[in-house]
Every structure is written in C-alpha cells, then in structure tokens.
Amino acid sequence: MVTQGAKSQDVFAADALHSAQTFMRLLDAAPLGMLVSTLDGMVVYANPAFSELLGHRPEPGHMFQFADLVSDETNAITRLHFERLLRGEVSVSRGEHQLRHVDGYPVWAMVGATILPAEGDTPPLILVQMNSIELQKRAEEALAASESRWNFALESARQGVWDHDIRTDTMFYSRMWRLMRGIPANEEVDGDQDKWLERVHPDDRPRIVANVHRQDRGESDFDTLEYRERTRDGDYIWILSRGRPVEWDAQGNPTRTIGTDTDITRLKLMEQELAAEKERLRVTLEAMADGMISTDLEGRVVFMNPAAAQLTGCNAGNAVGRPVCDVFRLRSEQGDDQLPCPVRACLAQSTQIRIDDDSVLCAFDGPQRDIRATASPVFADAGALTGAVLVFQDVTQSRALQRQLAHSAAHDDLTGLPNRASFERALSAAIASARHGQRQHSLIYLDLDRFKPVNDTAGHAAGDALLKQVAQTIRGVCRSHDLAARIGGDEFAIILEDCPIAHGQAVAEKIVRAVGALAFTWTGRDYSIGASAGVTIIGSQPASPLGFMGEADAACYAAKARGRACVVAFPDMPSA
C-alpha cells in the first residue's frame, strides 16, 4: 500500500522531470545561440542555434574555451569582458564581438554572458547567449562608407555643410565650411546671425537680410543665395549657399534647415571676365560697318548686329529665330531672279561660300544694295558643325564706280559708243561664233564725208557736237543687240548679228541716208555732211586675205571712189 506522502514525492519528481524536459526543448528551439559551460570551460550544453551560427557542434563533457570562438581582431576585448565576469566585477557581460566560424570567416554577434550560481551538487555555470548582428554591421559599414564618400565628395568640391536649428537658433558648421573662410577646423564659431552678417559684403547685405528667412522657410525661389563673405585674411570670397528645411513642427513650421556653402570665387571671376569679354564683343559688333548674322545649325538667325539690321531693313528682335533666307534676300543684278542664300550652301557643304558679284540685297525698307558676302561655317571644339556666320558689306558705291570705270574703258568718252578695243573684242566673238556656230553677221565700216571743214571752220567743239549727233543717229538705226562703235576720229563700225549681206547693206544705206539728212547748225551757220560705208559678211572664213575688217574698209574706200554718200558691199567691188 502506497502512502500519500510517497505518492506526492513521485508526482513532484515527475513534474520536475517534465519541467526540465520542457525547458530543454525550449532551449533547443530558441532562435538565439545558447552555450552552457563550467567555469573551467567544459561544455554542458549547446543548442542547435549555436551550431548553426558558428558551425561548432560541441558535445557535453567536451572541454571548450569560449575565447577559441573569438576572431583575432576582438580577442583581447572579448577576453577582458569574460575575465571581469569571472572576477565578479559585473553580473552580466554584454557587447558586440566578432566571432570565428568553424570555416574561418568572421561573424559579428551580440554576446551576453552571466554566471549561474551553484545549486546543490551542481557547480556554478556560465550561460552564454549570442545573436547574429551581421546584417546590422554590414548596414553600419555601408552607412559609414556612404558618409565617408559624401564627406570626401563635399570637401573635394569645397562644399561646407551648415545646420540651423531654428528652435534653439544654434548652428553647426562642418570642417570645410570653416576652412574656406580661413577658420581653424577645431575653432568654435559663433552662429549668431548678426555676427555672420558682419562678414557679408556691405553691397550684398541688404539682399541677404531680405531673403535669408525665405530660405529658412523653404521658398523654392530662394533656396539658393549668392553673396560675398570676408575671410580671416580680409579678402572676400563668393559663396553659393543652398539650403532648405528638413524638419517641421506640428503646425508645419520649419524647425531645422540644412544646406551647403560652395566657394564659387573662381567661377565668379570667370563670369566677370566673360561678361567683360561679351561686352567688348558687343561693342565691337555694334561698331562694325559690316553686317553680321549668326545662325544655328538649321539656318535660323541667332544674332544680328545693328549694321545687318540697317542693311536688311529688318529689326534684330524680329529676325531672331527666323530662317536667314527670309531676312537676307538676294536677287541677280542682271534681273529679278532670286539667288540662293549662301548660308544654305555653307551649312550643306561645311565650307566657306563667297559672293562677290551680281548680287543685290533686297531690303525690307525699300532700298536695294549691291553687296559682297561671305558665309563661314562655325565648328565646336570637338569639330562638330554648330552653325554659320554671314558677313556682308554694302558695295553699291564701289560697284557703281567699277561699272563706271569698266564703261569708260570700253566706251568712247565723247559719243558714249563702244571704243575700238571694245569693238575688236566684239568682232573676235562674232568671228568665233561664225566659224564654230555656222552663223553669219554683217560688218559695216562707215567714214564721214565733209567732216573736216566743220572742224576747221567751226572748231573742235562744233566737231565734237556733230560727232555726238552722228553717234545717236547710227544707234537709232541699229537694233538693240547690234554693236555700233567709234573706232577713229570720224570712223565708225557696226556689227549686225545674224544678218545676211543684203539686209546688212540695207541697214548701211539707211544709216548713210540718216547721216546725210542731219541738219547741223553752229553759231548761226548750217553745215551739211554725209557718209560712205562698206559692208562685208562675217562667215566661217574671210572672202579675201584682207580679213573681215580689211574687206569692209576696202568696200568703204570704193564707196568714196564712186562719189561718196553711198554703200558698197565687198563682193560687189569687182563690178563697181
């Protein structure tokens, strides 16, 4: 018979065993690594999470030193922590330790250790818990590396960081912020705004005072400020300050603003130099008498100087953006045919295009001007075509002078008819066209009769006036494309293009009659003159060794021999 007391002891023992088994299952299932050892390092227990963390699978009763799990980098610190625990200086040791996996690679873990006091026959034990913080450490390392990169990048760019706590009105300044102002890196800086404004250039101070609070409020148009600030050595540097709020209170008011200051002194100096250079260029372009138009790659006007606006009659503001061919309009000097704009060819061929002759600029305000122009391609540093520049000059006066000189060189000063040199060129051209083009032209040689008495009795002025009337008379009989020239004192020659000998003889007779009918009066006295003419045909070959001009001259001589005031054709001379 079992007594009640004995039964209670059995139940108690069973409950204790069940509790111990339950506790062991809980340890086995725990996600944290658990290790229990004696004070001298003999392993009592290690759960699966421990083995999974470090790869070690120590068996109970195995001698095992926890220091063997620690990497060389943190071995001294870890040993110090456990020695303090064993000496009773701390009841719990907790810290980050770099452990060594069984395969040799390090594993960061949060390690906690405590001593379980002896109980009955059980000696004191060390209970160690460990949890992997590898991901946390990697994140910290990545964050540290990122911060290092940002700090290096900011300092390399000479950007100083500032942090304004609006609630306490305190400022933080980075090392580079101090260095760019000549302030030692470890020197405390008074962040009072009035102190800072004392260093701002007096010319910039009113603008900064008016706008700095807008930067604190985060207004988008005022997140960037430019100003000059005095450094410790007394010089001023240009600061580009960017900043905006990063924290707000419950009412939406900014409580903290962070930003960067960049030293842009060199950029400002370059900007000022470029501005000065631009102003010099503007003054130069406006002072130029030549017109200049700059275009983009599509041939649209980018810039036009005042001279170009005046010459084209187009306002520069209205011209910008328009195709240059709409602004710079050309036509031929010989007619109304429109000429292509040289900029198009310049951009298409990537080469310089010149226009020197036969070009008239049609201005919007009416005047038409003879011009000379040059269109040149514009290339970037890399060699890519970026546009063109057109430079042109008004050459109306010089071209008129050239035409006048050319006319004088080719025409008789007295009568205005082509001179002998011009006639000889025209005769050569007519002979060439007859020889190669199978054409026929008539050549008339005309000599005045009874002209010398006018010169002798009335004087050279009267003779000159009479020659002018004769020239007008000859020109009036000829067709517009025929050439009538004065080749001597009272000698004239006419080339009748594409004219057979019979028709040429008829024209010569008409001229002779018209000259004979002239009524010339000088100082109250009437004078009567006449003319004799010889005609020959300009064909593929002369009819005699005399040549075409010799034949016409001989025929004219024959006409004088027949009694003057008549016409003789060269082939008719033998029967005369």
Q: Which residues are part of the catalytic machinery?
A: 490
Give CA–CA dist 339/253, Å, rounded.
68
Residue 54 · residue 101 · CB < 8 Å: yes
**Interatomic CA distance for residues 302 and 216, integer angstroms:** 40
Element spanning 489, H or E: none
CA distance 511 to 326: 52
Strands 43-46 and 33-38: antiparallel
Is residue 531 a contact partner of residue 447, using CB atoms and an 8 Å limit?
A: yes
- Residues 421 and 416: their CA atoms lie apart, in Å, by 14
443, 427 in Cβ contact below 8 A?
yes
| CA distance from start to end of the chain | 190
- Tokens standing for 549? 């001009």
Nearest to 301 by CA among 324, 269, 274, 332: 324
Measured CA distances, 465 to 81, 162, 229, 462 (Å): 135, 99, 89, 5
With beta carbons less than 8 A apart as the criterion, state whether 451 and 490 touch.
Answer: yes
Cβ count near 168 (within 10 Å)? 9
For residue 252, give the nearest of 218, 212, 223 by alpha carbon. Answer: 218
Distance CA 201, CA 437 (A): 88
Q: Which of 51, 45, 55, 48 is nearest to 30 (CA)?
A: 48
Enumerate residues 6+ apart whose C-beta is below 8 A from 404: none
